[in-house]
Amino acid sequence: TPTAVMIGTGIGASNGILIKGGEPLETTHEDKAIIFDKTGTLTEGKPAVSHIMPYLLLYRFLSIVGVAKSNSDYPLEKTITAYAKEVRKDNVLLLSFFKLLNNDSESDDDDMPTVSFCK
């Protein structure tokens, strides 16, 4: 309801959280995971990976994520890449990876970035 949206955005604002419109409040119950896109301001001053629930084998998942974001200067992506390198001690060579202009991964099946690996 409009009243609930007004109250929710007001409470969020009083706690320093900006909520743009009512849609985020109305659809949040459908979310399965939330990543706060902040540079550590909600935590210890730097982002950290707390846990992973991959749908792939963990090493395969970390290979894809670690390589796909390895050239990023964005703090959240640097943290994820560092975690992937820490867990995966072996080095993985990127053979091919395609990025769109908006920095999203291009994929044949829309579930996985187009990536090839070799050891």
Is the CB of residue 79 less than 8 Å from the CB of residue 48? yes
31 is catalytic: no
Instruction: Please give the biggest Cα pair distance in the chain.
Output: 57
The closest of 44, 48, 39 to 79, measured between CA atoms, is 48
Question: Which of the residues 37, 73, 90, 108 is marked catalytic?
Answer: 37
Active-site annotation, residues: 37
